[in-house]
Structure 1
C-alpha cells in the first residue's frame, strides 16, 4: 500500500494532536489584553417625567448606582502563533493526519453544514483542535469555528413577536426589526466596516436621549478613551485594513421581556452577538488574512411614550458591553479597529503577548464576568 494512501490509526492521530499542542501548531493568535476599559455598561433608571440622560454615551444611558462595577470593556490584542517546523513538515508529508480527523465545520466531513440558530447561551466554547493551516483570501474562515456560522444579517434572528407590557404584538414585531436593523447598520454595513460613518444606525436611536447621540457624534469626530465608537460600531481604519470578500460571520441571540423594577413600563430587548471579520492589509499584493472577532451585548429598554418622553419606533440604549479580539490595544483610540498581522509581530519581536488568555469564540460567559484588560487570545 502506498504511504499516501495509508489510513491513520487513532493512536497516530492522538500522538500528532498532542505533539502539535506542545509545539504550538495551529494555536493561532496569542494575544495581549487590556482590562479596565469601561465599555459603557450600566442600568437605566428612568424618570417618569423624562427619559434620563447618561453621564456619557459610552457608559450607556441612565446609569444605575447598583451595577457600575461591571461597566467595563475589554479589547484583546491578537498575536499570531508560529508553528514549529517539525509539526508543519509532518502535516505537509502526511496531510491526512489532519483531514481524516477534523470535526464537522472545521475542515472535516460536512464542514459547510450550517449550525442551528443559537437558542440559549452555550455551556462551553467551541471545541479546539490543531489547525496548521490558517485563513486565505479564498477561504477567510478556514480553521475557525465561524466557518459554520450564519452569513451576516442571516445570523441575527428575532424572537417571535408577542404582546408585551404596553406594546401590541405588531409594535413588538416592529421594535425587534428595528433592533436588528441597528445591529446590521452598526456591524455589517460594508461602508461602516471600511471606516465610514454609521449614519443609518445613529438615525435609529431615540433623540430624547440627546447625550447618547451627541457622545457618539463626538467620538466619531475625535475618539478618546471615554468616547470610543468601536464600543458600538465595527470600523476598520480605511488606510490600513479592508474586509476580505463580502461576508462577515455572525452568531448570537436576541430575547424579549417586560421590564421590572427600574424598567417598569419598558419593553426590554437583550442582544448578544459575535461578529467575525476577515481582513487584509490595504496594500498592493497583500495576501495575509487576519480575523478580528467582536462580541457585543446591548440592551434596549423601550419606555411607554404615554408615560415617558420617548419617540415611538426609536431605540433607547440601556446597557452595552463590547469585546474585540485581535485589535491592537496599544494604539491610541481613534474610532477604528487595528488588527495585527503575523508580519507586524515578526517586525516587533518584543511584542510577545501577556495577560490572561481568552477564546474570542467562547460565548458561554457574560462579558462582564471576563477579564477586563488586554490579554492573550487562544485563537482568532
Structure 2
C-alpha cells in the first residue's frame, strides 16, 4: 500500500486529500500513475506567468503618478460642477419659476391665449369689456389691459380700400391714405419720436407751403408751454424719466376718406395708442399711458392749387392724453406710477375710461380737466 508523501524541507504539498484518494483507487485498478507534485521551480514559473497575465492595477491599484492624476481630474470635475450648481442656485433664487413644476408656487399666472381683434371698420358702440385684474410686468406689459388683443404698432394702422372719389382718382386716394399712415406712425410709433427726439418722419409728409404750420410745430418742439405743446400732435417721453417697455405699442382705430374741398381727398383718422412704460431708474414698475388722436388731412390737386405735390395739409388735430400729468407742460408725457401716487397731484375732473372709443374726442376728458382714469 502506498502512503501519502510527507512534507519535506518546508515544501508543502499542493495535492489535496481528495486527489490522493483518487490516485490510490486508480492505482489499485492500474488506471493511472501517481500524480506528481510540481517542483518548487515549476511553482515559481507558474506564479510569475500568472502575475504577468493580470492587468496592471488589478490587485495593487494604479501607480502613484496615476493616483495623483486621477485626484486632479476629480477635483477639476467637482470644481466645474460646483460652479454650475452655484449659478443654478442663483438663477432659481431670482426666478423660482424656473424649477419644473414650480415647487414654491411663485410662478406668475400663465397668460391665457388671446385672439387678436379684427380691424376696426366702424365706430364702436361701447367701451371694451372688463379685463382680468392683473398687474403689468416687464415680461407682460399689457397684462390686465383691454388692449391686449389689439394689433401691435404699425400693424394696427389698416388702410381702407382706395376708390376714386369726386375728381380724385383711385391713385390719389391711395396716396393720401399712405401719407396719413406715415404721419400717424412717425408721430406716435417711431422709436426716435417716443424718445423725445425730433419727429422727422412725421414732419416730412406735411406741406411746407401750408401757412405757419411747420413754423408753429418747430416752436412747439423748441419751447413748449401750455398753449404751444407738441403733445397735441406727437407722443413723446422724457428718456431721463421714462422708458417704453419692449418694442410693442398697442394700436386700434380706423381711417375713412371723402371728397375734399380742393379737388382732392380728405382722410379722417381716429386712433388710440397704448404705451407700456417704466421709470428710467428705480424699481421695474410698469404702467401704461393711453393717447387717442383724431386728425383730418387733405391731399389737394397740385394742378389747381399752390401746394407741394405729395404733401398733406393738416386740417384738424385733436387729442386725449390719459395717465399723464396734466399740470406739466414741457412737451413730454408724464405717466403716474402706483409707487408715486401719494405724492401725485390730486385729480379734480371726472373719471373716464381711456379705452372707450365710442365717444367723441373733447369735452370733459382727462386731458382738459385733469380727471381720473378708471383703468390703465
Structure 2 length normalisation: TM-score? 0.68
Moved more, 353-362 or 117-126: 353-362
> Hey, what's the Cα distance between the residues in 2 that align with 1:229 and 1:128?
32
Q: Which residue of 2 aligns with 1:321?
A: 318
Q: How much does 1:140 deviate?
A: 0.3
Q: How much does 1:129 deviate?
A: 4.9
> Hey, what's the Cα distance between the residues in 2 that align with 1:211 and 1:116?
39
Q: How much does 1:306 deviate?
A: 2.3
Structure 1 pair 255–238 and aligned structure 2 pair: CA distance change class (3 A): same
Larger radius of gyration: 2
Q: How much does 1:304 deviate?
A: 2.2
Q: 1:279 aligns with which of 270, 277, 293?
A: 277
* Structure 2 contact 262–305 (Cα < 8 Å) conserved: no
Tell me the alpha carbon deviations over residues 120-178 of structure 1, each in whole angstroms, 9 at most, x when there is no partner: 000000012561x2110000000001100000000001110111223221222122111
Whether 2:371 is the aligned partner of 1:356: answer no
Q: Which residue of 2 aligns with 1:150?
A: 151
* Structure 1 contact 266–302 (Cα < 8 Å) conserved: yes
Structure 1 pair 109–278 and aligned structure 2 pair: CA distance change class (3 A): closer
Tell me the alpha carbon deviations over residues 280-305 of structure 1, each in whole angstroms, 9 at most, x when there is no partner: 1111x531001000000000022222
> Hey, what's the Cα distance between the residues in 2 that align with 1:232 and 1:276?
15
Tell me the alpha carbon deviations over residues 269-322 of structure 1, each in whole angstroms, 9 at most, x when there is no partner: 000000000011111x53100100000000002222222211121010001100
Q: Which residue of 1 aligns with 2:121?
A: 119
* Structure 2 contact 351–374 (Cα < 8 Å) conserved: yes
Q: 1:365 aligns with which of 344, 356, 359?
A: 359
Q: Which residue of 2 aligns with 1:139?
A: 140
* Structure 1 contact 277–292 (Cα < 8 Å) conserved: yes
What secondary structure sits across from 2:298 in the alignment? Answer: strand
* Structure 2 contact 131–146 (Cα < 8 Å) conserved: no
Q: How does 1:168-187 map to 2 (within 5 A)?
A: 168-187=169-188
> Hey, what's the Cα distance between the residues in 2 that align with 1:147 and 1:324?
19
> Hey, what's the Cα distance between the residues in 2 that align with 1:128 and 1:221?
41
Structure 1 segments unaligned to the other structure (5+ residues): 1-94, 100-106
> Hey, what's the Cα distance between the residues in 1 that align with 2:337 and 2:185?
26
Q: How does 1:7-156 map to 2 (within 5 A)?
A: 110-111=113-114, 113-129=115-131, 131=133, 133-156=134-157
> Hey, what's the Cα distance between the residues in 2 that align with 1:280 and 1:368?
28
What secondary structure sits across from 2:126 in the alignment? Answer: coil
Q: How does 1:295-314 map to 2 (within 5 A)?
A: 295-314=292-311
Structure 1 pair 299–361 and aligned structure 2 pair: CA distance change class (3 A): same
* Structure 2 contact 299–310 (Cα < 8 Å) conserved: no
Q: Which residue of 1 aligns with 2:74?
A: none
* Structure 1 contact 166–304 (Cα < 8 Å) conserved: no
Which structure 1 residue ranges, 4+ long, deviate > 6 Å from structure 2?
none
RMSD: 2.0
* Structure 2 contact 255–267 (Cα < 8 Å) conserved: yes
Number of equivalences: 268
Q: Which residue of 1 aligns with 2:247?
A: 246
> Hey, what's the Cα distance between the residues in 2 that align with 1:153 and 1:246?
11
Structure 1 length normalisation: TM-score? 0.67
Q: Which residue of 1 aligns with 2:375?
A: 379
* Structure 2 contact 290–323 (Cα < 8 Å) conserved: yes
Structure 2 segments unaligned to the other structure (5+ residues): 1-105
Q: Which residue of 2 aligns with 1:69?
A: none
> Hey, what's the Cα distance between the residues in 1 that align with 2:132 and 2:358?
21
What secondary structure sits across from 1:148 in the alignment? Answer: coil
Whether 2:264 is the aligned partner of 1:266: answer yes
Q: Which residue of 1 aligns with 2:285?
A: 288
Q: How much does 1:369 deviate?
A: 4.7
